[in-house]
């Protein structure tokens, strides 16, 4: 109970610029002596500091000492193990992200990937001006199937990771608590706290990247399923006799609506009828470039996204028919195409879902790497983050730079 009260008061102080002991006692319903003892302990531990006096309504009234959170009292690290890149962010005790670094991902070498974190963490902490001794927690979002109870990455085919005990390895390496989630679940946590789904108790979060995944939030909590493998929307069949998917089946949603599929369609459209390459170079072409071109009015880019959006809407209609969520939020760099993708998605949902009326389908509003934001939240709150996915955003998390948006997919 003492630790719970301490955590409660610390969170209340974190949420305010400054606050007095009397304010804390009134808002927490704890006695003033209890509050004073806890606050004195927080000050002794360097987590909280006194910063002057409040303004008394009466000149004769006794002024109260103001308290504020010591931003530098703790450091939290979020890690996003993406297919192509690994991103690291360091946040302070007030949940402000102070520094971020990106490195290439190591496929088939999970042990080496953990080892390479050591210098990255050191350099990122130094840039954030937070000492290693202040590190209090690590959160991880990994592009694979995760048993969140044990923190094990059971399968990450694109990373070639199999049965990797990430939580155990990080706890041994850095000697702090670690929490691990699938990237989709981490993204949904961030969206519910920071993005378009703030305050929404039931929503589906769909990410369009190299593949397609989803996360389901029911009554404010992420639904993980029996082993934590829920959300594999990309491997639902949407067409007969389609292309072979990475999972070994044919006609999966990923084969026609993922970033990889969009890129393939764009490259194919740039070939002349005889199979020779068009004059325009395709070397730098990717799904994000198609999205940018569509926003600029390119007809071929819009056609490609319209077809992908039609199939994506078909997949989303499965979610609506099964779950009837309050909202659907789409994430991923492809979503930057805006209405060029969203409109065909909504139109397709209208044709395929039974009761789609009144269910908004929106683009994510979390800036930068949404999975990395989710990892930071995991670092700070651990498994308790699941108790309030649809929380408020009265605290601040500084946005990850826009030029790093979606880099670790």
**Chain Cα centroid distance, residue 304:** 27
Give residue 4's pLDDT: 84
pLDDT tens, residue by residue, 12-59: 888 888 889 989 999 988 999 999 999 999 899 888 888 877 765 555
Q: pTM for this one?
A: 0.82
Top pLDDT among 254 and 60 is at 254
Give residue 390's pLDDT: 58
Give residue 337's pLDDT: 87
Inform me whether the pLDDT recorded for 273 exceeds 60. Answer: no
Q: How many helices (H) and strands (E) does the chain have?
A: 12, 16
Q: In what order do the strands lie in the sheet with 152-156?
A: 145-147, 152-156, 161-164
Alpha helices in 183-330 (DSSP H): 183-194, 254-257, 259-269, 287-295, 299-323
Instruction: Provide the token pair at 33.
Output: 């002596």
Comparing 176-185, 196-205, 245-254, the range with the smallest average pLDDT is 245-254
Mapping DSSP to helix (H, G, I), strand (E, B) and coil, where does residue 292 land?
Answer: helix
Mapping DSSP to helix (H, G, I), strand (E, B) and coil, where does residue 169 land?
Answer: helix
Inform me whether the pLDDT recorded for 397 exceeds 90. Answer: no
pLDDT tens, residue by residue, 254-263: 999 999 999 9
């Amino acid at each position: 109970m003492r630790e719970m009260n301490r955590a409660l008061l610390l969170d209340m102080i974190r949420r305010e610029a400054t606050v007095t002991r009397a304010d804390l006692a009134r808002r927490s319903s704890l006695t003033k002596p209890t509050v004073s003892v806890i606050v004195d302990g927080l000050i002794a531990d360097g987590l909280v500091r006194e910063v002057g006096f409040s303004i008394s309504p009466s000149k004769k009234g006794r002024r109260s000492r103001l308290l504020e959170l010591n931003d530098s009292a703790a450091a939290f690290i979020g890690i996003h193990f993406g297919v192509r890149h690994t991103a690291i962010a360091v946040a302070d005790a007030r949940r402000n992200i102070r520094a971020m670094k990106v490195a290439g991902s190591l496929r088939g070498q999970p042990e080496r990937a953990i080892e390479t974190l050591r210098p990255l963490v050191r350099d990122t902490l130094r840039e954030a001006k937070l000492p290693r001794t202040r590190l209090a927690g690590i959160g991880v979002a990994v592009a694979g199937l995760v048993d969140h109870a044990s923190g094990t990455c059971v399968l990450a085919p694109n990373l070639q990771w199999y049965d990797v005990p990430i939580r155990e390895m990080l706890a041994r390496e850095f000697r702090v608590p670690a929490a691990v989630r699938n990237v989709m679940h981490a993204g949904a946590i961030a969206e519910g706290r920071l993005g378009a789904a703030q305050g929404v108790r039931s929503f589906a979060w769909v990410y369009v990247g190299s593949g397609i995944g989803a996360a389901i939030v029911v009554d404010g909590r992420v639904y993980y399923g029996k082993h934590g493998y829920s959300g594999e929307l990309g491997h639902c069949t949407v067409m007969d006799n389609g292309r072979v998917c990475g999972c070994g089946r044919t006609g999966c949603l990923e084969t026609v609506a993922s970033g990889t599929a969009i890129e393939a369609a764009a490259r194919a459209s740039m070939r002349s009828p005889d199979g020779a390459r068009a004059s325009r170079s395709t070397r730098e072409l990717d799904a994000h470039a198609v999205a940018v071109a569509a926003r600029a009015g390119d007809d071929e880019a819009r056609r490609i996204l319209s077809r992908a959006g039609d199939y994506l809407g078909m997949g989303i209609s499965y979610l609506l028919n099964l779950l009837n969520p309050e909202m659907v939020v789409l994430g991923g760099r492809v979503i930057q195409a805006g209405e060029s993708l969203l409109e065909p998605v909504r139109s397709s949902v209208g044709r395929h879902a039974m009761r789609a009326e009144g269910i908004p389908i929106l683009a994510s509003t979390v800036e930068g790497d949404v999975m990395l934001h989710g990892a930071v939240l995991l670092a700070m709150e651990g498994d308790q983050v699941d108790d309030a996915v649809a929380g408020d955003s009265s605290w601040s998390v500084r946005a990850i730079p826009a030029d790093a948006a979606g880099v670790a997919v």
